[in-house]
Amino acid sequence: MATLETFYEVMRRQGITRRSFLKYCSLTAAALGLGPELVPQIVHAMETKPRTPVLWLHGLECTCCSESFIRSAHPLVKDVVLSMISLDYDDTLMASAGHHAEAILDEVMEKYKGNYILAVEGNPPLNQDGMSCIIGGKPFTDQLRKVAKDAKAIISWGSCASFGCVQAARPNPTRATPVHEVITDKPIIKVPGCPPIAEVMTGVITYMLTFDRIPELDRQGRPKMFYSQRIHDKCYRRPHFDAGQFVESFDDEGARKGYCLYKVGCKGPTTYNACSTVRWNEGTSFPIQSGHGCIGCSEDGFWDKGSWYARQSDILQFGIEANADQIGTTAAIGVGSIIAAHAAVSALKRAQHKGDV
């Protein structure tokens, strides 16, 4: 188990000069959207605070959150894992396995009771007594409840932990349930996305360790610094939206000109995430930049808000796929026909009883 040196000590031990350390603090402040006056605060925190133990659990998930996390460039995930946090348990990244690995959980929980951060990737299935996800011979639900009990705060990594994601999509046979519906007595930071952006993940961790508090959250429990605006609000194709220039179908003239993907189902106007600002893979690109609409992967229940290739959501209650306009048009035609028939009967009746009234 890692000894709890301060961040600064660890970095110096790794041969990082003080100059590089200060640069790193400035870059971190910039990445978090903080002003330069807060850099000394970050420096001070890193020089004095011991590394916080983080236990990273995996429930029903696909590991895409971990895959994203290890690609973080600013800060490098190496710095996060080796210098900033003390990642004591993460069954996909840790070297140890089996009983040895599971023993670490108990050790950290006991030694740092109430002072460790629980990061959850994936979610627990509640049906069939939780048998759809077994960790170390026991249902993941049990492990989650046990580790959450003494945690300082919980980070829900990705759309699985935050909202349920694909395993909770209709009809959700295993009753996969987001973490906040199972653990209700701890502060929970939701970092949705399928997966979340790497820099958003490391940014959230950096913020929590630096300031020793959870970031400011919005109504749905997401950090405001990364989830307060829609993809649409900062999309570089937004001028084409306002101009009324849309891709009508993939590979058409508009698609080649880089027009707005709204009509081919882009969910950017309803999706809160930082893709259009932070982008992916060291700021290389993001879905819209590659010519495909946003699928809204960081939104609640996005698998059931399809189609991903039409502007309006399908409404499935009618047994067939139809959107609001199709239902409305059908109803209007129905009512119109009834009215026409009614008017005809009214006219007949009136002709029959002319002069009666």
Distance (Å, rounded) from C-alpha 210 to C-alpha 28?
10
**What separation in angstroms does the CA of 122 have from each of 85, 166, 274?**
21, 10, 21
Question: For strand 138-139 and strand 134-135, is the pairing parallel, antiparallel, or unpaired?
Answer: antiparallel
By CB under 8 A, tell whether 181 contacts other proteins. Answer: no
Instruction: Work out whether 220 is an interface residue with other proteins (CB under 8 A).
Output: yes
24 φ/ψ angles, rounded to the nearest 5 degrees: -60, -45
199/73 Cα distance (integer angstroms): 7
270 binds other proteins (CB under 8 A): yes
From CA 88, how far away is CA 108, in angstroms rounded? 8
User: Is 234 near other proteins (CB under 8 A)?
Assistant: no
Q: 134, 332, 341, 344: which one contacts other proteins (CB under 8 A)?
A: 332
Q: Which of 267, 274, 276, 297 binds other proteins (CB under 8 A)?
A: 267
Q: Does an H or E element contain 42, and which?
A: helix 39-48
Is 346 one of the binding residues for other proteins (CB under 8 A)?
yes
Distance CA 70, CA 65 (A): 9
Rounded Cα distance, 261 and 240, in Å: 9
Distance in angstroms (rounded) separating the CA atoms of residues 31 and 279: 13
CB of 14 to other proteins, least distance (A): 39
Three-state secondary-structure class, residue 227? helix
Told to check if 324 binds other proteins by CB under 8 A, we report: yes
**28 and 210 in contact (C-beta within 8 Å)?**
yes
Binding mask 272-301 for other proteins (x = CB under 8 A): ------------------------x--xxx
What's the farthest any 2 CA atoms get from each other in the chain? 105
Tell me how many residues contact other proteins (CB under 8 A): 55
According to CB under 8 A, which one of 262, 280, 286, 303 is a site residue for other proteins? 262
Q: Which residue lies nearer to other proteins by CB, 4 or 310?
A: 310
Reduced to 3 states (helix: H, G, I; strand: E, B; else coil), residue 220 is: coil
List, in sequence order, every residue forming a beta bridge with 260; answer none if it has no partner: 246
Task: Based on the shown chain and the rule CB under 8 A, indicate whether residue 172 belongs to the binding site for other proteins.
Answer: no
Residue 339 makes contact with other proteins by CB under 8 A: yes
By the rule CB under 8 A, 9 interacts with other proteins: no
| Binds other proteins by CB under 8 A, chosen from 93, 316, 327, 344 | 327
Q: Which of 2, 73, 243, 316 binds other proteins (CB under 8 A)?
A: 243
Nearest distance, CB of residue 124 and other proteins, angstroms = 21
Told to check if 354 binds other proteins by CB under 8 A, we report no
Q: Which residues bind other proteins (CB under 8 A)?
A: 218-220, 224, 228-230, 233, 239-248, 254, 259, 262-263, 267, 269-271, 296, 299-302, 305, 311-313, 315, 323-325, 327-328, 331-332, 335-336, 339, 342-343, 345-346, 349-350, 353, 356-357
